[in-house]
Amino acid sequence: MPQPQPISLAAIEEALRIHAENKWLTFYPDAGPLRRELYQKHLSCFAAGATHRERMFIAANRIGKTEGVGAYEIRGHLTGIHPPWWPGRVFDRPVKVWCAGESAKKVREVVQEKLFGPITRLGTGMIPADLIVDKKMKSGVPDAIDTAWIRHSSGEVSHLTFKSYEQGREGFDGDEVDVVWLDEEPSLAIYTECLLRTMTCDGIVLLTFTPLKGISELVKAFLPGGKVSDEADS
């Protein structure tokens, strides 16, 4: 009877590389201790994206709102690759995406790292390494990405820009954008500007944050009877 051949170190290293560079595949499995059915609020948020332009995922720290909701969904829109069970919005074309947070430093340390991984190991975040086409670094913020181009399943390229609330409302005007992800609560002025950017292309806005500001005007807008604008969905 033939003896099984030993697995080479090179084969093991290659398997580990493929696993590290396809992190998103480890999220929401069908079975096991982290099986998808245990994350009903996350799944409900995804599903709401199919019918609502605006979504707010408010949760405590360390429960997966940034990585498991925000970064996971943004990866899907940028690449056009969703799991078979995906219940949310689907774009059949490359998209233009903004991802923003409180400061350029925080965006680099949280949002950028969840999407790309550490700057020395790009492709170990949610976006697979082989789909990162190119990137441009941000001036004045070491190791921070300003813009990135991601291969979409259509064969074309999606466009991602990182922004911060430090730029003020004026930093969010001008462009037409398909998807905006705001990690941490922005001012009502910035949020309204993001709504305007997505209006003409039937885009979507996703917020993920812990409500450290309490029941702010923005939070109230998502409560029963609340409204940000005439175009708002709660």
DSSP assignment, residue 68? I
Half-sphere exposure for 202 (CA within 13 Å, toward CB): 7
Percent helix, strand and coil across the chain, each rounded to 5?
35, 20, 45
What span, in angstroms and rounded, lies between the C-alpha atoms of 150 and 78? 6
pLDDT at residue number 57: 95
On whether residue 4 sits in a domain, the answer given is no
Count of domains for the chain: 1
Tell me the two tokens of residue 95.
């998209």
On whether residue 106 sits in a domain, the answer given is yes
192's enclosing H/E stretch is helix 188-199
pLDDT at residue number 232: 40
What span, in angstroms and rounded, lies between the C-alpha atoms of 49 and 57? 12
Active-site residue, selected from the candidate residues 21, 67, 113, 184: 184
The predicted model scores a pTM of 0.89
Which residues are paired to 133 by β-bridges?
Answer: none
Q: Which domain holds residue 87?
A: 9-221
On whether residue 231 sits in a domain, the answer given is no
Pairing state of beta strands 132-137 and 204-209? Answer: unpaired
On whether residue 184 sits in a domain, the answer given is yes
On whether residue 226 sits in a domain, the answer given is no
Is 119 buried (19+), middle (13-18) or exposed (0-12) by CB count in 10 A? middle
Tell me the two tokens of residue 74.
């943004």
pLDDT at residue number 14: 55
184 in catalytic set: yes
What span, in angstroms and rounded, lies between the C-alpha atoms of 212 and 230? 27
89 near 204, Cβ under 8 Å? yes
Q: What is the CATH number of the domain that holds 109?
A: 3.40.50
On whether residue 108 sits in a domain, the answer given is yes
What span, in angstroms and rounded, lies between the C-alpha atoms of 152 and 179? 14
- The residue whose two tokens read 């499995």 is 29
On whether residue 37 sits in a domain, the answer given is yes
Task: Please provide the size of the chain in residues.
Answer: 234
pLDDT at residue number 16: 58
Half-sphere exposure for 2 (CA within 13 Å, toward CB): 3
Is 197 buried (19+), middle (13-18) or exposed (0-12) by CB count in 10 A? buried
pLDDT at residue number 19: 63
pLDDT at residue number 220: 87
On whether residue 234 sits in a domain, the answer given is no
pLDDT at residue number 64: 87
> Mean pLDDT in runs of 10 for the chain (234 residues)?
67 61 93 96 97 94 92 98 98 97 97 97 96 97 97 98 96 93 96 95 96 87 70 38
CA dist list (Å): 69 to 8, 26, 81, 181: 37, 14, 15, 10
How far is the first Cα of the chain from the last one, in angstroms, to the nearest whole number? 65
